[in-house]
Structure 1
């Protein structure tokens, strides 16, 4: 049991992270895309398309962070000081973005500063999340199971590239969400944004996919040794297939295909990261077993997760079903 509990908890945290990235990714993407239209009705339409969902989407970030703290306290104690600055930047950006989302409506028509806060908070939060990912992949200096590096170890070219890549990826999620959820001129604009963003996302995925094995010998061994190369070849091929689904969906005016194709790209990217790094939770030194809490603690918390997770999933599905359909210009929830 002690052998499998850390793996189960790693899977729970992975699910929470994936759900957060997909669900909060598209509404962060709307903030990133906000400056690309100056039309007030279109901006209202963008925000109304996520108004019923955006705060619930952030639930998964709490589960991911809380799960790491409870199930892998050693990893939490190493990762937090190593990535303290981008983590704080992300949290403050999410606060500004959330406040701006609510106050923009009550400040009309003098809400220019709240528009800036909404765009800036969304962009900074996305960039910080990418930097956190890149800093973690880049490796954290550990000595005696404690962080032994400096406060700016995360500020590497690779981590900064990951930050920009996440901003572009979230913008693609936001554009394909709008393509699926709105009508009128904004839908046409979103389709145009999505085409350019898809090309950029595929370029970033290609660069990062080549950079990681060049940077880390252990990842190169996983992906390019035989027979692993043959087993893992479907991952990049499926990513190309998802990109084709997005592109063809945009060309044919499909509502849902571009969004779900983009979700597929994110899922395959996450699968690729998991393959490259498991079982390391703090690359390249600490595994899920090295950092796991006592089995009794993991079992106790897992009981709560098993009881509550289906309720949260059911509530989330109910919300999306209830507020399904497209938002026309002039419609909204405020």
Structure 2
């Protein structure tokens, strides 16, 4: 009999890694989504310089979550990869385009930045949409027989997943706008305030639509919500309160709280998703314990992560500390 449930520990590690990626890479994807609408190349220079020192380090969490998932829950890979192959390909292609645009735009002459601006925008947009669509596909479940996926390659693309994809695009745009509020000043900051208010309204509306759509289209999830109503009602209530607080902070031209409040909105939605789908790793039939690797494999990988995670947290905190403060025109680390 195991004294420690390694599967439960790994669920926490994977959930933490994915959550850190969504938060820390979400704002620079949001900046990319807003890129074409900034109005001038000077603004776009400031926007890119605000995320250039940290964007590639943020993606460390994606690598950590992906490799940890393979080591601890190989069955999830066995189902998710064939089910979501096209969506995952679009996600990675978008991240590659964005990364290339970062480096080449800095080296391009002023009159040759147009293609790299669009590569940065489209890469960010596609990556964000693909992430949201993958989340929607997870909610709607997978067609499996035993431990094999038996559905089609486009089963992940439905009206529901399109809605969740667009919802995450709007959420990242809100996060990116709040990042710009915190990191910039002047007319660019004023523009970011206006964008953030519009995105906040859109995000809350999409949150409501997706919640209702999930409840109406998935009776098992609705039943789980009703069975745990005394706990789950807290999350939409807190989301509404945080949304009101965020709106007031934007109206009062607060610089720091909008970004923190948006992170809180993401955290509440993420926790609500985990609780709604618990304990299914491959809904609607296989739990995390069904999908887990052997305890020996979990323990071996866990020992390595005990050293890796503090290092990642340490250099991430150090990077953000070094590049703290406002970003102004003409400044950059390249």
Normalising by structure 2, report the TM-score: 0.97
Q: Which residues in structure 2 correspond to 1:144-155 (within 5 Å)? A: 144-155=146-157
Equivalent pair of 1:2/1:295 in contact (CA under 8 Å): no
Equivalent pair of 1:277/1:283 in contact (CA under 8 Å): yes
* Partner Cα distance (2:171, 2:257) in 1: 16
Shift of 1:285: 1.1
Q: Which residues in structure 2 correspond to 1:1-334 (within 5 Å)? A: 1=2, 4-109=5-110, 110-225=112-227, 228-334=228-334
Residue deviations 1:78-122, cap 9 Å, x none?
Answer: 111000001001101100110001100101221111111000000
Residue deviations 1:220-257, cap 9 Å, x none?
Answer: 112123xx212221111110111112111111111111
Residue segments in structure 1 that go unaligned for 5+ positions in a row: none
* Partner Cα distance (1:91, 1:256) in 2: 31
Equivalent pair of 1:184/1:329 in contact (CA under 8 Å): no
| Aligned-CA RMSD value | 1.0
* Partner Cα distance (1:175, 1:137) in 2: 28
Equivalent pair of 1:195/1:247 in contact (CA under 8 Å): yes
* Partner Cα distance (2:177, 2:109) in 1: 25
* Partner Cα distance (2:293, 2:137) in 1: 24
Equivalent pair of 2:78/2:147 in contact (CA under 8 Å): no
* Partner Cα distance (2:47, 2:59) in 1: 18
Equivalent pair of 1:130/1:165 in contact (CA under 8 Å): yes
Equivalent pair of 1:52/1:323 in contact (CA under 8 Å): yes
* Partner Cα distance (2:76, 2:69) in 1: 7
Normalising by structure 1, report the TM-score: 0.97
SS in 2 for 1:83: helix
* Partner Cα distance (2:40, 2:248) in 1: 28
SS in 2 for 1:324: coil
Equivalent pair of 1:3/1:289 in contact (CA under 8 Å): no
Equivalent pair of 2:84/2:156 in contact (CA under 8 Å): yes
SS in 2 for 1:281: strand
Residue deviations 1:36-83, cap 9 Å, x none?
Answer: 123111000000111110000000111111111110001111111000
* Partner Cα distance (2:38, 2:255) in 1: 21
* Partner Cα distance (2:269, 2:4) in 1: 27
* Partner Cα distance (1:231, 1:67) in 2: 30
* Partner Cα distance (1:215, 1:309) in 2: 38
Shift of 1:3: 7.0
CA 1:286–1:3 in 2, change beyond 3 Å: closer, same or farther?
farther
Shift of 1:200: 0.1
* Partner Cα distance (1:165, 1:78) in 2: 25
Runs of 4+ that moved beyond 6 A: none
